[in-house]
Structure 1
Amino acid sequence: MLKINQYIKKHFYYVALATLIFVNSAYSKVIIWDLGDTLLEIDQLAMAGQIGMGDLFFHSLFSWSSPIEIKDQVFKILNQIKKPTNRPHHPTYNEQLLPELICNWLEGSKDSQQISKEVNQFIDDPKNSKFFSSDRHKRIIKNSIEAMFNSKELAKNMKPIKSNIKLLEKCAKKNHKLFILSNFDAKTFNCLKKSRRFKKVFQYFKPENIVISSDIGLLKPDPKIYDHIIKKYNLDPKECTFIDDQKDNLKAAEKAGIKTIFYKGTKQLEKELKSQKLI
């Protein structure tokens, strides 16, 4: 009896550890995160500085336009440079179709230099002066597009959403398998990964578990991109939850059998993660 008790005490630690690992693995899930506007966001102050703070201020003052209107005007110009194509699953941003040039950039079929050349040719062409209310307006549009497509500058103008990184950390502590599935330009993404500012974001993801649209030539909400991640990593869709801020992307994921969370804010995201027992 004494020898049995000694054996149990000696091996209790290993039995407990094995049990803990088994329990954690039995309840671990797969969480697929979007990147832009979910884990990272634009630093509006930094972006305004690059576009031209003075120009933005005086343009808003005299034309009564807002930064949202500037974005709409940028989209309008980009759509003039290259007309939208009949994509069966066209990417959207806040339920607005992304311009074809942005789609080309995010799927890797055109790089930022090619796009910048096309943009500058269009803006500098006197025939297109009708699109601009003033020289200041023209500079703002030109600088806005430059800030959008310049990989190094775009990376500098982004910042982590710190409150969401804390939720990401909680997911990691639950031993869930964590993935990124994002419509992103490869050059900008590489700039982000090299930056110390984003170290806390990417430390929770194995490099091989990051799927970027420009690396595979597919864009959300194309069903093929969800098939790609499921097949490549041999995932069970029923065990997966996808977090994104665009409704169309989530609808496509749901059709693939993946549970979803429509990201609207940190408190709501935390509540949803808890309801699915992921944290």
Structure 2
Amino acid sequence: MDQMKRQVDRIRENVADARKELEGYEEFRREAVEKTQKYAEEDENLCRLEDEVTFEEKRLSDEINRLRDREKRISQAMEGRLRILEGMRCNMADEAWRWYEQNREKFRYPVYVPILHMTVPNTESAMLLENLIAIRDFPMFIFGLESLSAGRPDIEHARAALNEAKTNASREVHKMVLKMLTKMGQLRAIYVDDSLLRIALQGLRETLSKAESQLHDAQQKLQDNLALLEGRATRFREVMRELARAKEVLQEHCGISTIDPDKITKEEGNILEQLEKVEY
């Protein structure tokens, strides 16, 4: 009987310890599930943000290349046409054009030169155009205001204008250099924006890597805690099996069907009281 009582006490203690160890398991499990879901959502958001930054980086790079190609094509085309115009030295059309560029604000409407401003879609159209317009007419000036072309300026005024154009040639070069520097500044600003985007993308990648590391650590900790809880659950099941065996022994030898205070009969309670009074 003494051994049986000790066994019952030990089982009760084991059951109490097991129940204490299992307290808060559901709360821990719920928190672990919430944290896992939170890390998964953050991971998804970071991946989506990285894709958006990559797409924007590619779009800006394509736009920069497109602007550079367009500027290069326009510059090459205008340089070629200016060289052709300079080759027609018989009428000094190139110097007249430079003078017009310096005095553009004096004209109410723009002035056009066919060799500089006319474009054709293909080679066949160019051949047709050359057959329709004489070569001497390509460098002619077409004024937007009819009264300007009707009134012929005097020769002295024209010579003075040409001399002024020659004098201001260096100023024109200076203006062109300033324009080029402005373009370079714009391209440099675009390059800075591109660099900032690259830095931001690198920061996002580092944040994503850090989040993935934290998620891995949390998952590892969750696995460890689950393994610990599984061990405690195994211990609890062993205690419950010992309790069941003790119940069988009590019922077999003492006629006690339960040790639950709410379900035990008066007679069974008396037996348990007698067992507790037994000295070890």
TM-score (norm 2): 0.26
State the structure with more CA Rg. 2
TM-score using structure 1 length: 0.26
Which structure: greater strand fraction? 1
